[in-house]
Structure 1
Amino acid sequence: MGSRYHIPKSLRGKPDIDEVLRYASYNPDAEKQYIDLLQTEEDFRARFYAEYREFNTQYKPEKPKNPAVKSSPLYKAMAERQENYYFNKAVFAYWFLFSAAEEYKRINQTKSQSKSRNDMPNHSASLQVNRSDNAGNKLSALAGAATIHVPGRQHSVDTGLMQDRDLKAMEAQNKHLNKLLIAQGEDIKELSKRDRENLTTIEDLRNRLSGFASKQLTEGNPNFTDLSDKNRPTKIAEYFHNVYDEEWTNALEVLSAKRQSSRNEEEAIFILMDIIKTIYTFCIKVEKEQNVSIITKIMRPCGATPMTDKEFNDKQNIVTDLERQIVTMRRAHCYEPISSIVQKYKESFKEFQLYKMYPEVVKYTEKCVEYIWLMRSSDPPIVLKWAEQGDRFDVNLYNHYTKKGDRVGMTVWPVVFLHEGGPVMHKGYARPM
Structure 2
Amino acid sequence: MHSPQQSMNVSATSPSTTPEGRNNNPEESNEKLQKELLDLQMKYNSMVAEVRDTKQAEEQLNAEIIRLKNVMDEQKREIETKSREKNELLNRLSAVAGQRLRDNNPAIADLSSEIRPTKIAEGFKELYDNEWTEAFIELKDQGYQDIVAIQFLITAVEDSFEFTADISRRRLEHLEASTRALVSHKEEKPDAVRHINKAKTISERDMKSEHRYQYGSVQQHADQKQVASAILSEECADLLKQLRKASAQALVEEIQNCFIENRMRNKETAVKQKAMIDFYKECAKITWFMSVQTPPLTLAPKPAKDSPIQTDLYLQYTQSGSKVDYVVWPACLLHENGPLLAKGVVQPFKPEVGDGAEVGKRKASVHGSHASVRQSGNDRRSTINSNNVNDPSKGVGRRVSCDYDTQF
- TM normalised by structure 2 equals 0.49
Larger Rg: 2
Higher relative contact order (CA 8 A, sep 6+): 2
